[in-house]
């Protein structure tokens, strides 16, 4: 079956007891078992699994082409469960441009567990290969990356990882399986912040890991989730599953709108740079064309006049709301350097845009009036 069909039907069997088409939400924390703790319907205690999370996991497996998936209370819970399940002494490579939470985890939390994370330019396979020399357990890719929309070649990174006996994990939050399926390109694990496009309505936090194989690492991560308890609540699983149903339709419109917005911004004199992999001028355009079905709904721009112009533009926008996060129906704008704390890494003149599902002429009109006010 094709992805649009899987998105509607995977994990969507009608309820056996009532025939309800919308899946029931089982809020039960505990499930009746036999006198010697024999499981009756496969469930025991919510921290160790529940029917609504299982439906969502089934859907994510189908969409990513995975053998098993785990769902978590947030994207960061998924990332930390995976990375903290590596053996102490492990060395991992992470992208130089990546989600801030991963950078902070790598700097402040992983070293105490004996895990060393080295930042490399994952858009450059040569640089990645050179950094693998001293032994590496995992390469982490985030493509397109946050906030610079850098594109890394997943198949090339998978080949390098496997040559060195390492795993490739890929944060697929920006692309979603609608646009890019890392496991089919050789990655071993896919990670999602389902808070973003999967949920799709800026109202549910969640994370997921999709595994190509049910192996020892999968078992360790599942055990860690069950014991440490960063579980996704059933209602959150239900909202995320509902988001899956419209994910392909929403992504098509996010992509179409973002492409038009990127092309408009590329023609504006106040805009020095547009980072959008769908533009032929983007350094990752060729790789994006190979591995993505379309370029996505995220882009960032750098203003010629730097920080002050970026803040003035963000302040003058009316339809784009100043807010963090991404992937919802509404368009958002964010001055990344301002939210990165004491030591910002984003360029001072950079704004990140999450292009929503409004009419694209209204979005362009808003950008036009805000640019005119600079
Ligand atoms: C938001 C995000 C995360 C973290 O997910 P949370 O659900 O906020 O914990 C990780 N990676 C990327 C690319 C993100 O955008």
Pocket test for ligand 1, best of 142, 195, 202 (most atoms within 8 A of CB): 195
pLDDT tens, residue by residue, 179-227:
999 999 999 999 999 999 999 999 999 999 999 999 999 999 999 999 9
Q: Smallest Cα–Cα separation from 297: which of 332, 267, 259, 269?
A: 259
- Pick the catalytic residue from 57, 68, 181, 196: 196
86 alpha carbon to ligand 1 midpoint, in Å?
Answer: 20
pLDDT tens, residue by residue, 74-92:
999 999 999 999 999 999 9
Res 238 pLDDT > 80: yes
Task: Measure the CA dihedral 246/62/178/300, to 10°.
Answer: 100
> By the 8 A CB rule, do 240 and 206 touch?
yes
Residue 115 DSSP symbol: -
On average, the pLDDT of the chain sits at: 97
**Catalytic residue list contains 196:** yes
| Residue that has been written with the tokens 């992983």 in this structure | 110
pTM of the model: 0.98
321 alpha carbon to ligand 1 midpoint, in Å?
Answer: 19
pLDDT tens, residue by residue, 164-173:
999 999 999 9
- Pick the catalytic residue from 43, 99, 197, 276: 99
pLDDT tens, residue by residue, 104-157:
999 999 999 999 999 999 999 999 999 997 789 999 999 999 999 999 999 999
Spatial distance between the Cα atoms of 264 and 147, rounded to a whole number of angstroms = 19
């Amino acid at each position: 079956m094709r992805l649009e069909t899987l998105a509607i039907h995977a994990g969507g069997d009608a309820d056996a007891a009532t025939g309800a088409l919308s899946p029931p939400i089982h809020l039960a924390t505990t499930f009746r078992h036999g006198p010697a703790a024999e499981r009756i319907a496969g469930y025991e205690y919510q921290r160790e699994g529940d029917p609504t999370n299982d439906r969502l996991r089934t859907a994510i497996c189908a969409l990513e082409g995975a053998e098993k998936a785990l769902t978590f209370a947030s994207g960061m819970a998924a990332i930390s469960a995976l990375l903290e399940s590596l053996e102490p002494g492990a060395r991992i490579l992470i992208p130089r441009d990546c989600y801030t939470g991963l950078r902070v985890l790598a700097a402040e939390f992983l070293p105490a567990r004996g895990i060393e994370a080295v930042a490399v330019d994952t858009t450059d396979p040569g640089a990645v290969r050179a950094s693998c020399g001293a032994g590496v357990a995992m390469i982490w890719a985030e493509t397109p990356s946050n906030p610079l929309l850098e594109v890394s070649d997943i198949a090339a990174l998978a080949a390098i990882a496997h040559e060195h006996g390492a795993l490739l994990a890929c944060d697929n939050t920006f692309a979603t399986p609608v646009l890019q399926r890392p496991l089919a390109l050789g990655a071993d694990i896919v990670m999602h912040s389902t808070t973003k496009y999967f949920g799709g309505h800026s109202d549910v936090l969640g994370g997921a890991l999709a595994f190509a194989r049910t192996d020892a690492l999968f078992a360790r991560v599942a055990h860690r989730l069950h014991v440490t308890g960063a579980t996704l609540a059933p209602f959150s699983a239900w909202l995320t599953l509902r988001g899956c149903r419209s994910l392909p339709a929403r992504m098509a419109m996010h992509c179409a709108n973002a492409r038009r917005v990127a092309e408009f911004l590329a023609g504006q004199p106040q805009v020095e740079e547009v980072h959008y992999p769908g533009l032929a001028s983007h350094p990752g355009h060729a790789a994006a064309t190979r591995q993505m079905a379309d370029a996505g709904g995220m882009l960032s721009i750098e203003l010629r006049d730097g920080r002050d112009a970026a803040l003035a533009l963000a302040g003058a926008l009316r339809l784009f709301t100043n807010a963090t996060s991404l992937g919802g129906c509404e368009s958002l704008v964010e001055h990344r350097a301002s939210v990165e704390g004491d030591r910002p890494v984003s360029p001072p003149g950079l704004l990140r845009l999450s292009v929503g599902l409004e009419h694209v002429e209204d979005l362009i009109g808003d950008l036009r009036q805000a640019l005119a006010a600079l």
